Amino acid sequence: LWSGVLLALKRRRFNFDPPMLAITVAIYVYCAAYLLASAVNNALGADAPHLVALVTFLLFPISYSTWSITAKATLARIVVVASMAACFGALVLAVVQYYWLGMRAEGGAGNAIPFATVTCLGVMMCMAGALSGIERAKGLLIPAVLAGIIAILYSGTRIIWVAIPVSGIAVLLINRRRLEQASLARLLLIAAVMSLVIAILGFHIVSERADFLFSDWDALAKGDHATPTGLRVALWQIGLGAFRDAPIFGHGIAASQALMKQGFHDQFGMAMG
């Protein structure tokens, strides 16, 4: 609303730069797909509470026109510094929750997966900031990367454990020219120290989560879907079945819960969803 007021008073001009146009087109196509799917399924009324959330996406060009006037380098440094603070904060929360409360680290999200996902984004921002040279405080960025990774370990979120090296390699490839100019010995030393710390702190957590995973696989092989892994496999099977039934327009947003309940009941004899 404030962005709209600024544009109406002509204190800001509407921004038409190429990145904004590309993102706006993608967002509007996404929103149109939702509306079309609901209309085809005659579910506009049932989907209305979910469709209201799309308003935030539709207002993106207006909000972008306000904050995009900031110098890009300054904006990037703000993101990097904020990510650095988030990584340190994530570690503090993870230590408190894991050691004092005896639970998987989940921050304030109430769930370990979004906590680990957001922390992973913060780690990648810190890596990009350190490698690109956009932020000079590299002495804090590298510990922030380590802090974020340790926090993710404490979350026990296996999928994000896989995402860290994959996204990390992507960041390294993007900044490979900077790496060519850096001292190889120094980079290897930093990597070795970080790997050692992660291995020492994460060995018990990783082995514990691996035991849970193998136990879930054994149960799944016997047809037991009442485990975290089994439930995920069941959801994938239900989702693939729903996609085959309506591959283009889907079933509408509001139908998701009903499809899950029916799928769990009919295919797995479970009262879930």
Q: Which two tokens stand for residue 186?
A: 């120094």
- The pLDDT tens digits for 214-267 are 998 999 888 888 888 889 999 999 999 989 988 888 888 888 888 899 988 888
* Predicted local distance difference test score (pLDDT) of residue 69: 61
Select from 18, 51, 67 the last residue of a domain: 67
Residue 246: inside a domain, yes or no? yes
The alpha carbon dihedral of 248, 253, 256, 258 has a sign of negative
- With both helix axes pointing from N to C terminus, report the angle between 184-221 and 228-245 in degrees, rounded to the nearest 10: 80
Check whether residue 14 and residue 114 sit in a common domain: no
List of the chain residues with pLDDT < 50? none
CB–CB of 112/155 below 8 Å?
A: yes
Check whether residue 78 and residue 193 sit in a common domain: yes
pTM over 0.85, yes/no: no
Check whether residue 240 and residue 192 sit in a common domain: no
Residue 196: inside a domain, yes or no? yes
Check whether residue 170 and residue 153 sit in a common domain: yes
Check whether residue 136 and residue 94 sit in a common domain: yes
Residue 51: inside a domain, yes or no? yes
- Mean pLDDT rounded to a whole number for the chain: 87
Check whether residue 181 and residue 81 sit in a common domain: yes
Residue 209: inside a domain, yes or no? no
Domain holding 61, by residue range, is: 2-67
- Give, as one character, the DSSP assignment of residue 9: T
Residue 88: inside a domain, yes or no? yes
* Predicted local distance difference test score (pLDDT) of residue 223: 86
Residue 241: inside a domain, yes or no? yes
User: How many independent structural domains does the chain possess?
Assistant: 3
d(CA 45, CA 36): 13
Taking only Cα atoms into account, the Rg of the chain, rounded to an integer number of angstroms, comes to: 23
CB–CB of 273/234 below 8 Å?
A: no
Select from 24, 49, 67 the last residue of a domain: 67
* Predicted local distance difference test score (pLDDT) of residue 2: 65
* Predicted local distance difference test score (pLDDT) of residue 123: 96
Check whether residue 191 and residue 90 sit in a common domain: yes
Check whether residue 250 and residue 135 sit in a common domain: no
Residue 216: inside a domain, yes or no? no
Residue 9: inside a domain, yes or no? yes
Q: Which residues, 6 or more positions from 83, have their beta carbon under 8 angstroms from its beta carbon?
A: 121, 122, 123, 125, 126, 129, 144
* Predicted local distance difference test score (pLDDT) of residue 45: 86
